[in-house]
Homo-oligomer: A and B are copies of this chain.
Amino acid sequence: MQKFNAKVKVMLKKGILDVQGKTVENSLKTLGFDNIANIRIGKFITFDVEADTIEKAKEIANSAVDKLLYNPNIETYYLEIESIEGNI
């Protein structure tokens, strides 16, 4: 078995109003940040996966994200996976 690290970015789909982002944007404007726009706030999730190959690790990670970590109706995600050490 090898150990891998997965990094997942989960963002609201384009076209879905990002209420949290809009709120922060308004607050920043109140603070004088007039040059900042289009704030989108999503989730950044990291976890370790043990698997025999990187392909298998990616499959497990994708499956976990699909089952629990994102809402396919309103969100999209991007997953990266990399080896973090030798065999264990």
Q: Report, as a range, how many residues of chain A touch the other chain.
A: 20 to 34
**A35 close to chain B: CB less than 8 A:** yes
The A contact surface, by secondary structure, is strand
Q: Considering the chains assembled together, what is the distance between the CA atoms of A35 and B48 in angstroms?
A: 8
Chain A contacts with B in 49-88, Cβ cutoff 8 A? 49-51, 60-61, 63-64, 67-69
Chain copies in the assembled complex? 2
9 shortest interchain CB distances as A-B pairs: A44-B44, A39-B47, A35-B50, A42-B44, A38-B48, A37-B48, A9-B44, A40-B46, A41-B45
Further pairs besides A9-B44, A39-B46: 8, Cβ < 8 Å: A11-B44, A21-B45, A28-B67, A33-B60, A41-B44, A41-B45, A42-B43, A42-B44
